[in-house]
Every structure is written in structure tokens, then in C-alpha cells.
Amino acid sequence: MRHLDLLAPLLTDTLAPLAQRTDTEGRFPREVIQALGDAGLLGLVSATSVGGMGHGLAEAAQVVSGIAQSCPSTAMVVCMHYCATAVLEQSGSEAVRTAIASGRHLSTLAFSEADSRSHFWAPTGTARAEGDGVVLDARKSWVTSAFEADSYVWSSKPLAAEGTSTLWFVDAKATGLAQPFKFDGLGLRGNASTPITAEGVRVAAGDRLCEDGKGFDTMMGTVLPWFTTLSAACSVGLMEGALSRAIGHVGQTRHVHLDSSLADLPTIRAYLARARIKTDMAQALLGDTIAAIGAGRPDTLLRVLEVKAAAAETALEVTDIAMRVCGGAAFRKEAGIERLFRDARASSVMAPTSDVLYDFIGKAITGLPLF
């Protein structure tokens, strides 16, 4: 559990004091990411052969969940970094892998596009050969850590082969990348999630991260399990954060004339009990999903599809309960509950959305092909 020992002081000393500022100012949590890098946690899932910790999905989920209890914006940045790293560990250059392992390189995914929306597996952006290189053009939508990360794991239509997509390593400083506008929205305000346009972005032929036309295989076989699981971990951590704040509030807030606390009210306790049960159920499904992936169980795909939707929708319920039991106090910024309430809204509409996952799950349990 060395990674948790490294994480604990960072959460207390660096993350928690900056969480409110990250949200209020919509500021990317650069200091926290730097601290994670210095602690070796950006290299958590990098191989030991390149200097990383050599851990896997279970440990990544613990880190993301721990961060999300205080700052889901930062948790989502780390979630996407680990997803990108899982791809780069398979087919990235040794130099990039070493930089990630040493905490000097932050990466992210650039899959979703304006023209295919939540159907991230079907990019419309193109790749064409030009000389000894490749030129990329696309309209990416909602790329986490846009222009804050050092690189993107980028999807496009195939260069020449049959198939739906090809994946590329794209340097974030590449000429031709532009940011149409910055994000200023309801929740996850600090994760720098904005569109990216690519016009004539040149990459080397060797920057291809899969066989041409085989990007779908990597998306489904590597990225989807990592993303849905870590997204669920973010939701579970967020629930824990909201619930702990709500419990603290009702225990400390008193009716002086009755010499009792809010926790003495059976209705309040019942609401908190429901929130605890729902959070524990989501945590149990998260743990079982990680176990299914690790063991290659026959129900792995079903668990991968279920876990993000279940955790995302449950987070909506739990944060709503936290707001309800804390009443007007929950609306105060310093309480931190309304921030988690807003942040919880993101996962259900983040591709693949809960509604898309419900459709996939329905197909899976009725024996229909997913695509």
C-alpha cells in the first residue's frame, strides 16, 4: 500500500487547501499534478522497467477515488492520465513511458468528436499520408486536460486500412492544434475539459499506437475497461466525500432549545443510511468489476458496462441526499457539498453516457451485438 502512504499527505497538505480555488476559478490543479508527479503517482501504472511503480487498475482506482473525495476535477485529470498511460504502456515510445514514470509527463485521451458526440469509438477526424509523415485534421470535443497535458492519445479514421479508427501519439505542443474556447461550466470546473481543433497537425508515422484501422480493438480492450472503472472510482470517491461532510454537519449542528443535534432526528438518520447503503453498493460493484477484469471472468464485459453507469447515477442520488440533510448550510461554498453535488452531474453525461451504457447493457443481456 505504498501508493496510499504517498497519497495521504498529499491529499491533506496540497489537494484539500486548493480544491475550492480549483472550482471557483476554474483553474487547472497544476500544483497538485506536480505534487503527484514528484511523489511518483503519475507513474503508478507505468512498468518498473521504465522507472514506474508497476501497479494496475486496482491501485489506480484507489488513487482516483481518494482524490475525488476532495477534488473530483483533479481525480478526472488523473483518471484520463492513467487511461492514456495504459495505451502508451502497450505501444508508446520508451522515452515517453520513462517521462511518465518519472512524473514529468501528463497525458490524456482525445477521442470524442463534435460530429460523433458520445459515440467515441467512431471518429470522423482524418489522417492522411504526406511525405514521410501523417497529417491529422479533426474537431475534438471535451478533451480533459486540453492544453495542460503534455500529450494526447488521439483517434482518427484509418490512414489507409479498413476499420473504424487508428490511434496516434500527439504532442500537445504540435503546430495546428487550437482551442476554440475555454470551459466555464457547472461542475468539474478545474479539469481543463475543452474542445481541440486540429488543422494540418503533422505527426511521424512511428507515432501510430496501433495497427492501422485497429484502434477500435484498443478502445474496447484497453481504454473502455480502464475508463469506466476509473470513472466509477471517481464517482465512488465523490460519494464518500459528500457523505462524510454531511455526517459531520448533522453531528455538529444543534437545536439548542431542544439540546439535540440533527443526527438525533430519525428522518435524517434514515436519509444518511440510504446514502451509506448506496455508496457501499457502488463500491462493491467497483471492486467486483476490478476482480472480473483481473480474472478474465465471463461476465467481465457486463461489469465494465455496468460500473460507470451504476456509480454515476448513484452519485446523483447520494449527493442529492447530502444536500437535503444539510439544508441551507449545504449551499455554502465552504461546506464543499454543493461543489461535489455539481461535480457529480458530469459522469452520467460523459461518453459513454449512462443512456448509451444502458443500451449496451440491454443488448448484452439479450444476446444482441453491441455494435
Is residue 343 a contact partner of residue 104, using CB atoms and an 8 Å limit?
no
How many other β-carbons are positioned within 10 Å of the β-carbon of residue 58? Answer: 15
Residue 259 has pLDDT above 80, yes or no: no
Residue 255 has pLDDT above 60, yes or no: no
Alpha-helical (H) ranges within the chain are 2-10, 16-24, 30-38, 57-68, 72-91, 94-101, 215-218, 224-252, 266-295, 300-326, 337-344, 354-365
- Please give the CATH topology (third level) of the domain spanning 216-365: Butyryl-CoA Dehydrogenase, subunit A; domain 3 (1.20.140)
Q: Which residues of 61-78 are buried (b: 16+ CB within 10 A; e: fewer)?
A: bbbbbbbbbbbbbbbbbb
Instruction: Kindly state the cell numbers that stand for 86.
Output: 495504459
Q: Which residues of 332-356 are buried (b: 16+ CB within 10 A; e: fewer)?
A: eeebbbbbbbbbbbbbbebbbbbeb
Rounded Cα distance between 14 and 17, Å, is: 6
Quote the pTM value.
0.96
Is residue 138 a contact partner of residue 126, using CB atoms and an 8 Å limit?
yes
User: Tens of pLDDT along 196-205?
Assistant: 999 999 999 9
Domain ranges for the chain: 2-106, 110-212, 216-365
Is residue 113 a contact partner of residue 345, using CB atoms and an 8 Å limit?
no
Residue 128 has pLDDT above 70, yes or no: yes
User: Tens of pLDDT along 92-111?
Assistant: 999 999 999 999 999 999 99
User: Tens of pLDDT along 186-223?
Assistant: 999 999 999 999 999 999 999 999 999 999 999 999 99
What is the pLDDT, as a whole number, of residue 252?
Answer: 75
Q: Considering only the top CATH level, what class is 110-212?
A: mainly beta
Q: Indicate the pLDDT class of residue 245, thresholds 50, 70 and 90.
A: very high
Describe the strand order of the beta sheet including 151-156 as a list of residue ranges: 107-110, 151-156, 166-171
**What is the maximum alpha-carbon separation in the chain?**
81
Rounded Cα distance between 105 and 97, Å, is: 9
Angle, helices 72-91 vs 224-252, to 10°: value is 160
Instruction: Kindly state the cell numbers that stand for 173.
Output: 505542443
In three state form, how does the secondary structure of 127-193 look? Answer: EEEECCEEEEEEEEEEECCCCCCCEEEEEECCCCCCCCEEEEEEECCCCCEECCCCCCCCCCCCCCC
- Please give the CATH topology (third level) of the domain spanning 2-106: Butyryl-Coa Dehydrogenase, subunit A; domain 1 (1.10.540)
The dihedral through the CA atoms of 149, 79, 87, 304 has a sign that is negative
Q: Indicate the pLDDT class of residue 257, thresholds 50, 70 and 90.
A: low
Under DSSP, the state recorded for 290 is H
Rounded Cα distance between 155 and 162, Å, is: 15
Instruction: Kindly state the cell numbers that stand for 134.
Output: 501523417
Q: Which residues of 40-57 are buried (b: 16+ CB within 10 A; e: fewer)?
A: bbbbbbbeeebbbbebbb
Instruction: Kindly state the cell numbers that stand for 243.
Output: 457523505
* The one-letter amino acid at 156: S
What is the pLDDT, as a whole number, of residue 227?
Answer: 98
Beta strands 260-261 and 177-178 are unpaired
Q: Kindly list the distances between the CA atom of residue 288 and the CA atoms of 5, 53, 220, 229, 291, in Å, as whole numbers in the listed order.
A: 24, 23, 19, 10, 5
User: Tens of pLDDT along 264-282?
Assistant: 789 999 999 999 999 999 9
